[in-house]
Structure 1
Amino acid sequence: MEIELEVKRAQKGEKQSFAKLIRHYQVHLYRIAYAILKNDSDCADAIQETILNAYQSIHQLKQPNYFKTWLIRILINQCNKMLHQNKKMIPFEKLQEPSYAPKEYKEVELKELVNHLDPNHRLVITLYYFEDLSLEQIANLLNLPEGTIKSRLYKARSILSEWLSVSKERVMRCE
């Protein structure tokens, strides 16, 4: 699919082109929303609002080749808005979670571990490794200096490395 061509068509009002774009990026949207919100229901709400906002304002997008980052920016803003609105509510499940790191596991999947990182580290890891965005793109999306993104990536990698080494030790003790 030629993304820029579909974006231009969508900007001219072709609903099918916009739908193709959303279908093309739906997995990306979910992965990013889940990295921030960690709740399927909230992810669905955030994605729905993102799609509506993007559809209503697609004519404002000046450079079609930036559609993906533009869409992700709308999603991140929507997720942050939802987090801010839900800040006062603590889900029952969270009351039972003593820490971000999983307690017992024998086989570790990296994506599972990433979901246990704090939100800032989880988002940067997701955007960099799973969405293949550059450090510069992530910095622009999050309105942060590139150095901050680098340090968050470094910290997240360190945490993941530590968890993986702890996991390996536990597996060796169980064998």
Structure 2
Amino acid sequence: MIVTEYGLVQRAQAGDRAALGDLLIAHQTQMYRMAYLYVHNEADALDVVQETALQATKSIRKLRQPEYFKTWLLRILINVAKQQIRGKPPAPLPAAKAVYQPDLAQRQDLLQLLAGLSEKRRLPIVLFYYNGLTLKEISAVLHIPVGTVKSRMNRGLAQLRVEGGKMDAQQN
């Protein structure tokens, strides 16, 4: 039997802890990626994911629209990550081992470029490209109109192209 996410959310809201566990497991990779982009280290990212799961467990019955579980969960995660980094100096991204892992070095460059964007421009890009959310879902997560999502993404991507070009020029 195929169980839909919507069905799992309804079961979780009715008190089925196993259904909630299945939902959290299904989204753990996306949650970790998003958390890591905020806190820049594995231990803190895992703490953010754990706290997000705890808060989701406590408030799953308050979710009014089960079809938006994923956006609701990511909104919780963003708030938890912001709380975690509030008052802390920004953590540097760990150094990449470019000699042995060139793909990791390229990803590291991209993470550094993303870290250089304002949060308003970075979040829509991360939610779209790293988490696979639609523009409408991003709009719901960030509580902004779809047109604003599009313009922030376009401006952020343009800034990434400019900064990436500068980085390439410096490396050559």
Q: Which TM-score band (shorter chain)?
A: 0.7 to 0.9
Match of 2:127 in 1: 127
- Provide Cα deviations, 1:35-63, integer angstroms capped at 9, x if missing partner: 22222222112111111111111111122
Give the superposed CA RMSD: 2.9
Q: Verify the 8 A CA contact 1:36 1:119 in the aligned structure 2.
A: no
- The 3 A distance-change label for structure 1 pair 130 and 141 is same
- Provide Cα deviations, 1:52-93, integer angstroms capped at 9, x if missing partner: 111111111122211111111111111122232xx2x326x6
Structure 2 counterpart of 1:68, which letter?
A: K
User: Are 1:116 and 2:113 an aligned pair?
Assistant: yes
Q: CA deviation at 1:19?
A: 0.9
- The 3 A distance-change label for structure 1 pair 119 and 19 is farther
Q: CA deviation at 1:20?
A: 0.8
* C-alpha separation in 2, matches of 1:17 and 1:81: 28
% same residue: 34
Match of 1:78 in 2: 80
Task: Report the structure number with the largest CA radius of gyration.
Answer: 1
- Provide Cα deviations, 1:115-155, integer angstroms capped at 9, x if missing partner: 43235133221101122222232222122343432232112
Match of 1:161 in 2: 161
Match of 1:151 in 2: 151
The alignment's TM-score, normalised by the length of structure 2, stands at 0.77
User: Are 1:52 and 2:54 an aligned pair?
Assistant: yes
Unaligned stretches of 5+ residues in structure 1? none
Q: Verify the 8 A CA contact 2:113 2:160 in the aligned structure 1.
A: no
Counterpart secondary structure, 1:109? helix
Q: Verify the 8 A CA contact 2:71 2:140 in the aligned structure 1.
A: no
User: Are 1:136 and 2:136 an aligned pair?
Assistant: yes
Q: Verify the 8 A CA contact 1:54 1:74 in the aligned structure 2.
A: yes
Q: CA deviation at 1:166?
A: 4.2
- The 3 A distance-change label for structure 1 pair 64 and 115 is farther
* C-alpha separation in 2, matches of 1:58 and 1:111: 35
Q: Verify the 8 A CA contact 1:6 1:21 in the aligned structure 2.
A: yes
The alignment's TM-score, normalised by the length of structure 1, stands at 0.75
* C-alpha separation in 2, matches of 1:125 and 1:50: 21
Q: Verify the 8 A CA contact 1:30 1:43 in the aligned structure 2.
A: yes
Match of 2:31 in 1: 29
User: Are 1:12 and 2:11 an aligned pair?
Assistant: no
